[in-house]
């Protein structure tokens, strides 16, 4: 039986370390599969290896390992609360490796000061620097040698060790010591910043309280750990407290701030029957909540899990950088060897330093130092991790770096109409049987929906429609059932038999031996002949943006219902912002052109395609792809799945309420609103430009230093300083999405 276990790896300072540990562990006997993510710092292992063996291997590579039994259940509390310089000091002090580097640094400083104050003998100063170097280099050398022995790979630690030993051999003791000290501190600094990026996600989990007040028999209250709660338990949520579990409200009402889940800080009113999520903040009311999910499965945990998975999927630009780094280091080493040997051997150039210039051996050592691809390798993942985390905090779940990069490239946005640009809670505004006995059939003002007084034929028609629609999940079906209930017709129909949907057109089923069809005007024009008078009435309703549902029992057309679905309040504003971002906006709908025209004019999209069958929506997306290169499709993720899949990025709404939307989309908006969309696009573009900046910066710096080193103008410590400095710059640059407004 395959057994997967997860461990936490500590001390992963460089993106390359993850791959090193992965290779090292993979070579252990009994390991079927090992995967290490730099983004999450986790090792996933499939195989039978004694823990001791595993631990020894990981430690040989200079990393730490922690077993994580049942890691899913307990909410993780961030362990590093202090930030800034103090936090970094703790980080340095926490590990033997970095403590040694600090000791080395202290010794360098002491020797430097003493040698300036007193005339110390030359040999003593050199010896002190060498000891300082040896202290700091020990863990680096150990990792370098072990990586060579275990993984059969040259890594930067080995090259740094060679450079330091080489520098000592040619008498550059101070330089050897500072180079290693700076390198060790720089690596730790990278690890520290990467850790902080990881932590910013973990802080989301910390939002969930560890305990809850359980109410038994309606009266007894006791505080219990959330792990002990079962589905069906009742918990009490006091005013101002965080909800501890996912559940439904069974008593009380309150406004709840759901921003941890949806990113929307406007409180949402909750009453009996409404869903609440763990981690959200209760307002002024007291709520009794019936638990619907175990602590480990609550929505916030699922979000964290999806985000962690997302972060570990490599983005295309990251794969490119990784591939490049794979060749870069060996290539620079070869150049270094050539630089050390060719000029002295072929052209009689000085091997050792002369009075006025660096020798070629020294230049080669400088090249070795420069061969570290760290800045390059770390630049992309840090940017992606922080962008994905920043998005998650705003209720935008990006399910992988690749999707983030795609969103940054997108030039056109396609929107589904129903439930995306509109509220998705349509209402029947008017109904009209062909044998209507009253004259009150003029469409009501939108929102008033007062139906005509009782009219038997109209009620019959509504009951017939409701019989079929009671087996449909379409938003229009909900509207029709609601109307039937409001008119007190619930007793007059039973659910139809053998109900089938006619995709994008309507629905059909058997009632009392007759085939009843409820569907669009288009469908009826094709298959169910009706009077020109009826057509004219329908056209009038459609001109107001109402969708007509016509009813036929197979023998005759009974009439129609006019159903309105209002545009969302913020649709127009969002579309406007998208256009300001230079995006082409298109509405795709299965509804007819008249209705589509009214809604699209209201929200202000650039283009509209109406009357589309589901397969035609896919074609429409493909057409946009051909025209714009990269296209995003926004839908509800339930009946739009094919179109979402056809687009470069599929974006689903309402992820918090619908597990399906959460699973099917590339990007899920946790709240059921579009408001975060312009932010998501700006964030993705920002991340893309940061990645490009970072790659250009670190690559340009390397190239410049390489030329400088060959020309003899770069010293070892300058090379390290530049590398560490650049790693830091790209890391800080990459963390900027976390602070984007």
Q: How far is the CB of 420 from Mg ion (least distance, A)?
A: 8
> Which tokens go with 26?
């993979």
Residues 70-99 that bind Mg ion (CB under 5 A): none
- Choices 70-78, 340-348, 514-522, 528-536; region in contact with ligand ADP by CB under 6 A: 514-522
472 binds ligand ADP (CB under 6 A): yes
Helix (H) or strand (E) holding 61: none
308 binds, among Mg ion, ligand ADP, none (CB under 5 to 8 A by kind): none
577 binds, among Mg ion, ligand ADP, none (CB under 5 to 8 A by kind): none
Contact 96, 139 (CB under 8 A): yes
Which parts of 342-475 are beta strand (E)?
396-398, 412-416, 427-433
Q: How far apart are CA 414 and CA 621, in angstroms?
A: 7
H helices of 236-358, in order, are 259-262, 299-312, 316-347
Q: How far apart are CA 114 and CA 31, in angstroms?
A: 53
195 is catalytic: no
553 binds, among Mg ion, ligand ADP, none (CB under 5 to 8 A by kind): none
Instruction: Rule CB under 6 A: choose which of 12, 243, 507, 719 binds ligand ADP.
Output: 507
641 binds Mg ion (CB under 5 A): no
Residues 159-188 that bind ligand ADP (CB under 6 A): none
Residues 375-394 that bind Mg ion (CB under 5 A): none
Residues whose CB falls within 8 Å of the CB of residue 501, separated by 6 or more in sequence, listed in order: 472, 474, 507, 508
H helices of 513-652, in order, are 521-527, 532-543, 571-580, 593-603, 614-628, 641-646
Contact 635, 644 (CB under 8 A): yes
214 binds ligand ADP (CB under 6 A): no
Instruction: Rule CB under 6 A: choose which of 474, 530, 584, 688 binds ligand ADP.
Output: 474
Whose tokens are 């089923």? That residue is 509
Q: How far apart are CA 368 and CA 349, in angstroms?
A: 20
When the beta carbons of 175 and 565 are compared against ligand ADP, the nearer one is 565
505 binds, among Mg ion, ligand ADP, none (CB under 5 to 8 A by kind): ligand ADP
Per-residue contact string for residues 516-545; x = within reach of ligand ADP by CB under 6 A: --xxx-------------------------
Q: How far is the CB of 2 from ligand ADP (least distance, A)?
A: 42
Q: Could you tell me the sign of the dihedral formed by the alpha carbons of 645, 649, 655, 659, in that order?
A: positive
- Choices 180-188, 314-322, 424-432, 631-639; region in contact with Mg ion by CB under 5 A: 631-639
User: Where does residue 149 rank: exposed (0-12), middle (13-18), buried (19+ CB within 10 A)?
Assistant: exposed
418 binds Mg ion (CB under 5 A): yes
Beta strands 211-216 and 649-652 are: unpaired
Q: Could you tell me the sign of the dihedral formed by the alpha carbons of 726, 173, 365, 192, in that order?
A: negative
Point out the catalytic residue in the list 13, 37, 246, 416: 416
Per-residue contact string for residues 546-565; x = within reach of ligand ADP by CB under 6 A: -x-x----------------
505 binds ligand ADP (CB under 6 A): yes
418 binds ligand ADP (CB under 6 A): yes
When the beta carbons of 141 and 647 are compared against Mg ion, the nearer one is 647
How many residues of this chain bind ligand ADP (CB under 6 A)? 21
589 binds Mg ion (CB under 5 A): no
Strand partners, 36: 43
190 binds ligand ADP (CB under 6 A): no
With H, G, I as helix, E, B as strand and everything else as coil, classify residue 150: helix
- The terminus-to-terminus CA distance of the chain in angstroms comes to 48
- Choices 54-62, 86-94, 341-349, 418-426; region in contact with Mg ion by CB under 5 A: 418-426
Q: Would you please indicate which residues are annotated as catalytic (active-site) residues? A: 416
| Residues that bind ligand ADP in the complex, under the rule CB under 6 A | 416-418, 469, 472, 474, 476-477, 504-507, 518-520, 547, 549, 589-591, 639
| Residues that bind Mg ion in the complex, under the rule CB under 5 A | 418, 639
């Amino acid at each position: 039986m395959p057994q997967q276990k997860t461990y936490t790896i500590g001390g992963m300072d460089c993106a390359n370390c993850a791959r090193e540990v992965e290779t090292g562990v993979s070579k252990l006997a009994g390991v079927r599969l090992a995967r290490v993510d730099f983004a999450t710092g986790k090792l996933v292992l499939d195989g039978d290896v004694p823990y001791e063996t595993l631990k020894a291997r990981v430690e040989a590579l200079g990393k730490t390992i922690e077993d994580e039994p049942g890691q899913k259940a307990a909410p993780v509390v961030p362990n590093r609360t202090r930030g800034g310089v103090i936090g970094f000091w703790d980080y340095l002090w926490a590990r033997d490796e970095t403590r040694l580097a600090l000791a080395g640094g202290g010794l360098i400083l002491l020797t430097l000061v003493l040698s300036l104050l007193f005339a110390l003998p030359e040999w003593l100063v050199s010896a002190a620097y060498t000891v300082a170097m040896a202290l700091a280099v020990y863990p680096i050398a150990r990792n370098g040698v072990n990586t060579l022995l275990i993984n059969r790979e040259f890594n930067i630690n080995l090259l740094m060790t060679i450079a330091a030993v080489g520098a000592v051999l040619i008498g550059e003791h101070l330089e050897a010591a500072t180079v290693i000290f700076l390198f060790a501190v720089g690596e730790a600094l990278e690890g520290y910043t990467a850790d902080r990026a990881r932590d910013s996600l973990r802080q989301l989990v910390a939002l969930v309280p560890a305990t809850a007040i359980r109410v038994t028999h309606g009266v007894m209250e006791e505080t219990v750990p959330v792990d002990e709660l079962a589905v069906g338990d009742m918990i009490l949520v006091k005013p101002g407290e965080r909800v501890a579990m996912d559940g439904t409200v069974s008593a009380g009402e309150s406004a709840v701030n759901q921003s941890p889940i949806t990113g929307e800080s406007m409180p949402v009113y909750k009453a009996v029957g409404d869903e609440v999520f763990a981690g959200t903040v209760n307002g002024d009311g007291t709520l009794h909540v019936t638990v619907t999910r175990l602590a480990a499965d609550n929505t916030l945990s699922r979000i964290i899990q999806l985000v962690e998975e997302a972060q570990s999927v490599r983005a295309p630009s990251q794969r490119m950088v990784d591939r490049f780094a794979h060749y870069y280091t060996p290539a620079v080493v070869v150049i270094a060897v050539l630089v050390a040997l060719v000029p002295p051997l072929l052209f009689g150039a000085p091997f050792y330093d002369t009075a006025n210039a660096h020798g070629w051996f020294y230049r080669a050592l400088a090249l070795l130092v420069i061969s570290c691809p760290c800045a390059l390798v770390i630049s992309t993942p840090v940017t992606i991790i922080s962008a994905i985390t920043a998005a998650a905090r705003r209720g935008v779940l990006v399910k992988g770096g690749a999707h983030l990069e795609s969103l940054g490239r997108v030039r056109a946005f396609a929107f589904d109409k129903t439930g995306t640009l509109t509220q998705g809670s349509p209402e029947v505004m008017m109904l009209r049987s062909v044998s209507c006995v009253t004259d009150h059939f003029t469409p009501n003002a939108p929102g008033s929906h007062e139906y005509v007084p009782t009219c038997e034929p109209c009620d019959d028609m509504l009951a017939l429609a409701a019989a079929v629609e009671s087996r449909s999940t379409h938003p229009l079906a909900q509207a029709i059932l609601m109307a039937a209930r409001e008119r007190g017709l619930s007793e007059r129909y039973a659910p139809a038999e053998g109900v089938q949907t006619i995709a994008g057109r309507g629905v059909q089923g058997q009632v009392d031996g007759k085939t009843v069809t409820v569907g669009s005007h288009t469908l009826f024009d094709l298959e169910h002949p009706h009077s020109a008078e009826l057509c004219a009435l329908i056209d009038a309703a459609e001109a107001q943006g109402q969708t007509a549902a016509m009813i036929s029992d197979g023998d005759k057309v009974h009439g129609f219902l006019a159903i309105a679905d209002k545009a969302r309040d913020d649709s127009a504003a969002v579309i406007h912002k998208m256009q300001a971002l230079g995006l082409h906006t298109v509405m795709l709908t299965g509804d007819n052109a008249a209705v589509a025209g009214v809604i699209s004019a209201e929200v202000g999209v650039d283009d509209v395609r109406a009357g589309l069958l589901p397969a035609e929506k896919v074609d429409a997306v493909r057409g946009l792809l051909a025209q714009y290169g990269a296209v995003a499709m926004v839908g509800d993720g339930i009946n739009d799945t094919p179109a979402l899949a056809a687009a470069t990025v599929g974006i689903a709404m309402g992820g918090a309420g619908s597990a399906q939307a959460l699973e099917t989309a590339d990007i899920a908006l946790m709240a059921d609103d579009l408001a975060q969309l312009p932010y998501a696009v700006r964030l993705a573009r920002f991340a893309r430009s940061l990645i490009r900046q970072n790659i250009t910066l670190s690559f340009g710096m390397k190239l410049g230093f390489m030329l400088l080193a060959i020309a003899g103008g770069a010293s070892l410590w300058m090379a390290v300083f530049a590398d560490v400095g650049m790693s830091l710059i790209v890391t800080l640059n990459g963390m900027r999405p976390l602070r984007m407004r």
